Amino acid sequence: MRLNADDLLVNTYGAERIRMVRGKGCTLWDASGKSYLDFFGGIAVNALGYGNKAIAKVAAKQYQKLSHVSNLYTTEPAVRLADAILKHQPIPNRTYERLFFSNSGAEANEAALKFAAICIQKEGNRAPYFASFQNAFHGRTFLTLSLTSQKKYRTMYEGIFPPTLTLPYNDPSALHKKLTPDVGAVIVEVVQGEGGVRSLSSACALLLNRLCNSNNIILIADEVQTGMGRTGTVYASEGARLKPDIITIAKPLGGGLPLAATLVTKRIHTHITPAIHGTTFGGGPVQCAVACEVWARVTAPSFLHSVQHASGILDDALVHLASNCTVIKELRGVGLLRGIQLADDVDVSQVIAQLRTAGLLVIPSGDGVIRLAPPLTIKKADIRNAVDILHAVFRTYKATT
């Protein structure tokens, strides 16, 4: 009898999903042997693609040497990784002095918010009052969910959240009005990964820097999806000229193993003392050994250059596609995080199912948007094949709006 996920797992992901069995580069194979071009990389996780033998070797070697010791001890891979991450300081006038390892994007943001809460209280006896943006997604723990505005994720839990402020995205006059000294910290995505692939305007990034500075508000950049080369720079904050006090990274860091980091400036770190926060698994030696390899690769200037090059090819191909497919309403995104907004009357989940049948895996983002987040190692031929499949499916739709 074939075991069925639907009979065994809590029903948080809907109907039975395709059972994937192996991957190589940008291609995945399911249990029936059908292959798929993966254009969302395990939700922006698989930066180096599937089946990387060098990474597999690092993981196996470290597992045999030392797998888990808890955070009552430290390990050589964790120290080496922290050093590599903190050596890279690309944001002008911001130095990230320390970092905290955890296991997921939500945990990295939860740590950021808890550290910010401590700092806010210690600095000025203010209550920790947090702000985030419309359509933001920061995770599914209670604190991060309280700052995630999309209704579908939070409606069932309303009433349990602490009071928060939701700011409109890319609205300078609202920022001026609402980002007052009452706000203790604000968390922002430079590109909203789950919220429609909208990018923070440079006017708003600069205004956020200015208002946070003058009102003593802690600025947190959630780079869980955008960090580590996705937008063509190590941090998307670099391109946007955002100057966060705290940066969180996660998805690609562990090369597919769970690992995240919360980077803090001295202002924040000064207030952190033992027992304030912690984790059993965060920063384990196997994840960190793998992450050292991933970090070294994705932060190499030649690698970032290749991401920028691939992103230019993808951009050109999408612009050409949009000129031939009336169903495309708008193109969004930066680097290798792209959004295709379809006409209002189109059922995006149906389009995604058709693309999957045709051998291309993509995911939705917000309302009516198809998100592309392929491995950062994507090749020109894969981009061409993906865009051919998009074209074949999109041309069966006509825009009526």
Return the residue matching tokens 């991933």: 294
The beta strands (E) that lie in 181-236 are given as 185-188, 218-222
Nearer to ligand PLP, 111 or 325 (CB): 111
287 touches ligand PLP (CB under 6 A): no
Task: Report, in Å, the least distance between residue 287 CB and ligand PLP.
Answer: 13
- 77 is a site residue for ligand PLP (CB under 6 A): no
Question: Is 118 an interacting residue with respect to ligand PLP (CB under 6 A)?
Answer: no
Site residue total, ligand PLP (CB under 6 A): 15
Residue 225 contacts ligand PLP per CB under 6 A: yes
Q: Which residues of 210-231 are buried (b: 16+ CB within 10 A; e: fewer)?
A: ebbeeeebbbbbbbbbbbbbbb
Q: Of 23, 25, 77, 139, which lies in the binding site for ligand PLP, with binding defined by CB under 6 A?
A: 139
Among 4-12, 113-121, 136-144, 327-335, the segment contacting ligand PLP (CB under 6 A): 136-144
**Rule CB under 6 A: which of 85-114 touch ligand PLP?**
104-106, 109
Indicate whether 189 belongs to the interface with ligand PLP (CB under 6 A): yes
230 makes contact with ligand PLP (CB under 6 A): no
111 class by beta-carbon count within 10 Å (0-12 exposed, 13-18 middle, 19+ buried)? buried
CB of 48 to ligand PLP, least distance (A): 18
To the nearest whole angstrom, how small is the minimum distance from the Cβ of residue 54 to ligand PLP? 24
Please, which contacts does 321-327 make with residues 24 or more away whose CB atoms are closer than 8 Å?
A: 321/387, 321/390, 321/391, 321/394, 324/391, 324/395, 325/390, 325/391, 325/394, 325/395, 325/397, 326/398, 326/399, 327/394, 327/397, 327/398, 327/399
Angle at 11 between CA 1 and CA 51, to 5 degrees: 70
One of 49, 184, 193, 196 touching ligand PLP (CB under 6 A):
193
What residue type is assigned to position 53 of the chain?
A: K
**Considering the complex, what minimum distance in angstroms separates the CB of residue 168 from ligand PLP?**
18
Binding site for ligand PLP (CB under 6 A): 43, 104-106, 109, 137-139, 189, 193-194, 222, 224-225, 250
